[in-house]
Amino acid sequence: MKVAVFLHKIFKAAVVAGFLTAIFSAELSAMQPASDAGDKPFSTLQRSDTGELIHAYLFMENRDLQRLYTRNPRSDDRLPGYLRWNSADGRVQGLRGVRFRGNTSRYHIRKSFNIRFNQSQPQLFGGDRLNFNAMYTDPSGLRERLAWQMFHELEQPASRVRYTTLTINNSYEGIGLHIQRIDEELLRSFGLNQRGTLVRDMTRRRGAEMGIGRRSVFGHDLSQTNDVPALLASLFESRGNPDYGELAGLIQWIYDTPAGDEFEAGLRERFDVDNLTDWLAIHYLIGDVDAFGDDYWLYRAPGSSAKWMVLPWDNDLSFGKNERDGLTENRELGQFGRGLVQLNDFFAYEYPLDDAGWDNDLIVKYHQSPGLRRQFEHRMLQLMDEVFTPEWFDQKIEKYSEIIGPYIQRQRSEEDRYFLLQQRQHHGEIGRWAYYVENVRDFIELRYAFIRSMLLFDEPVAYHNFAEFTISPGDRGRMLITDDAGWTFAALDIKSVTSAGGEDLKLRLFMREAPENDGITQNWQADFLQGDGLVEAVITLYYRNDIASDGRDNYYIFPEATGRQWELQIVKDGESLDSRVNPYSNKIEASVTLSGSHLLQVLHP
């Protein structure tokens, strides 16, 4: 029996004939909730009198506004306008211009904006650019805000962010997130040398033009390149005057040095390994493995003894959100066009603990070096147990939901002048915000169970969708049932356990294919193997539903994210139960009484 104690919760894990992660919620009265005296700043420079939410009122001539929305969305030419803070009657702020920002997001019907001011703005943490991220891909409105706060919680240098509403020519156009630009001002605010090297690897987008057949420069041999500084200047986005000599040295050293003790020692000489480890750990916790391509910046202060650091960037595809090819257009939900791949309600959390195929040898060799891997695994468990606990997420989600709730649920209205330009807040289903928020919470619980199975159980038994486990008469609370591969296929919220003679009850739960089912094409079989008793619980059944080429499977009869899943019901031994489903999390739940053997199905009525 392996036991891990978390803040406010006891998590029990055991290996029987399959892998079981059992999570029993048990409030520990001796422990106090994690402190949350606001989001911790690194310095007084991070404080602002404007609070968590600001309101931007943008005004443009109609001809310029029409041009902005009808020209090539990839244009970076700025168009004129002016902006007022907090009300349509506020003080006029002069602008150097307005353009769209982002990559794929430029093709969404609701746009992200880069608005540059003539002067620095206290609302923007002293910067002169409003980097307004529309959050169109995130119907919860929580993912990026949570991700950035995790870096701040660990006191790692990262963009400061602030929820922002945007009104254009007196039409409310939604709430988004201002994300501080990574530049010299950000370095200064974190006490870093503004003259240091600050670069972003863009090999993913630019490498093919230069004959580099990989998606990261880390792993490329520079020894055959005649003009290395010119190559790096073309491959990397940069701020200021980067030291390409130091950067070239790092790239070539990573290429030349095999993984192992030598790589670990050399990396510790060249890199702030604690910073790198935390950057990796957070991205694995939130499932943002897209970051390992080009969604990060490298920083190094001047001087021979300085070490490289990583600064995060672009955390939109996190907490279970990711791209899907081959999606069917749904114009009613704004799911169409070149940006379609990101506009879906499919759900995943089994992202690997490696470089996720980004050809990034910095990450590959880090994980292949035993000492670094041990540090990483220790840090991952520490962060889950002590820092980013379920209570930490609950507090943040409650806080941010209170801020954005009145805005994120607004719908298009000509009378109220809402979304006259951009149609809607997000791509998802209107009126389902509570389910989208729940989906974020579900990701955290399921992702943590997956990570624990990867880190704590090196030799899992090869039984998928299968577990045998023991329930004692005194057990209460939530039990996650997770197979040997880290996938959670059921959960029990135990209300009461009765047993003849007070003995433990041994249960087996497994899934098997049922292609004839009208709904989920799997059945769950629950059998009592030992003991004569009865369990009263709320059972949650999780199913797979993915169309990605690398997706694990799809148990729903239709290849779509939601469809008729809202109608699904749990059927126990032929009797339909009063059920609650959340298709965004691929789950359905109902109250049950378990005793003996039971067949559980998830079917359309």
Predicted confidence at residue 383, as pLDDT, reads 98
Does 358 map to a domain?
yes
Residues 577 and 561 in one domain: yes
Predicted confidence at residue 32, as pLDDT, reads 29
Using only the alpha carbons of the chain, give its radius of gyration. Answer: 26
Domain boundary, last residue among 358, 387, 416: 387
Does 570 map to a domain?
yes
Predicted confidence at residue 34, as pLDDT, reads 32
Q: Is the pLDDT of residue 441 over 80?
A: yes
Predicted confidence at residue 586, as pLDDT, reads 97
Residues 190 and 307 in one domain: yes
Token look-up 């540059």 returns 116
Residues 235 and 249 in one domain: yes
- Give the pLDDT mean for 548-561: 83
Predicted confidence at residue 356, as pLDDT, reads 85
Residues 202 and 73 in one domain: no
Please state the domain count of the chain: 3
- Give the pLDDT mean for 553-577: 95
Report pLDDT digits (tens) over 306-324.
Answer: 999 999 999 988 999 888 8
Percent of the chain with pLDDT over 90: 80
User: Closest Cα partner for 588 from 545, 530, 559?
Assistant: 545
Residues contacting 333, CB < 8 A, separation 6+ = 343, 424, 427, 428, 429
- Give the pLDDT mean for 444-458: 91
Does 289 map to a domain?
yes
Report pLDDT digits (tens) over 155-212.
Answer: 999 999 999 999 999 999 999 999 999 999 999 999 999 999 999 999 999 999 999 9
Residues 240 and 301 in one domain: yes
* Mean pLDDT, all residues of the chain: 89
DSSP string for 560-604 = SSSTTGGG-EEEETTEE---EEEGGGTEEEEEEEE-SEEEEEEE-
Domain boundary, last residue among 320, 353, 387: 387
- Give the pLDDT mean for 502-526: 97
Full domain range(s) for residue 505: 2-32+462-603
Does 454 map to a domain?
no
Residues contacting 531, CB < 8 A, separation 6+ = 499, 500, 503, 504, 505, 506
Predicted confidence at residue 111, as pLDDT, reads 96
Predicted confidence at residue 304, as pLDDT, reads 93
Predicted confidence at residue 328, as pLDDT, reads 78
Token look-up 């699904």 returns 568
Residues contacting 589, CB < 8 A, separation 6+ = 538, 539, 540, 541, 570, 579, 580, 581
Q: Is the pLDDT of residue 548 over 50?
A: yes
Q: Is the pLDDT of residue 494 over 90?
A: yes
Predicted confidence at residue 550, as pLDDT, reads 62
When pLDDT is cut at 50, 70 and 90, the band that residue 485 belongs to is: confident
Classify 453 as helix, strand or coil: helix
Predicted confidence at residue 290, as pLDDT, reads 84
Residue 491 belongs to domain with CATH number? 2.60.40
Residues 295 and 373 in one domain: yes
Predicted confidence at residue 325, as pLDDT, reads 77
Predicted confidence at residue 322, as pLDDT, reads 83
Higher-pLDDT residue of 520, 338: 520
Residues 474 and 566 in one domain: yes
Predicted confidence at residue 458, as pLDDT, reads 59
The residues facing 571 across adjacent strands are 576, 601
Predicted confidence at residue 23, as pLDDT, reads 32
**CA separation (Å) from 343 to 141, 242, 316, 426?**
14, 37, 12, 9
Report pLDDT digits (tens) over 264-314.
Answer: 999 999 999 999 999 999 999 999 988 898 899 999 999 999 999 999 999
Does 446 map to a domain?
no
Predicted confidence at residue 30, as pLDDT, reads 28
User: Closest Cα partner for 179 from 151, 154, 193, 158?
Assistant: 158
Residues 156 and 84 in one domain: yes
Residues 193 and 318 in one domain: yes
Predicted confidence at residue 333, as pLDDT, reads 77
Tell me which DSSP letter residue 387 carries: I
Predicted confidence at residue 456, as pLDDT, reads 84
User: Closest Cα partner for 196 from 156, 235, 246, 266?
Assistant: 246
Percent of the chain with pLDDT over 70: 90
Residues 338 and 205 in one domain: yes
Predicted confidence at residue 334, as pLDDT, reads 77
Q: Is the pLDDT of residue 571 over 70?
A: yes
Check if the beta carbon of residue 17 is closer than 8 Å to that of residue 466: yes
Residues contacting 479, CB < 8 A, separation 6+ = 22, 23, 24, 469, 471, 491, 492, 493, 494
- Residue 398, Cβ neighbours under 10 Å: how many? 11
Report pLDDT digits (tens) over 14-70.
Answer: 333 333 333 333 222 222 223 333 343 333 333 333 479 999 999 999 999 999 999
Predicted confidence at residue 324, as pLDDT, reads 81
Predicted confidence at residue 567, as pLDDT, reads 98
Does 38 map to a domain?
no
Does 399 map to a domain?
no
Residues 203 and 295 in one domain: yes
Does 154 map to a domain?
yes
Predicted confidence at residue 41, as pLDDT, reads 36
Residues 411 and 475 in one domain: no
SS (H, E, C) 218-236: CCCCCCCCCCHHHHHHHHE
Q: pTM for the full model?
A: 0.91
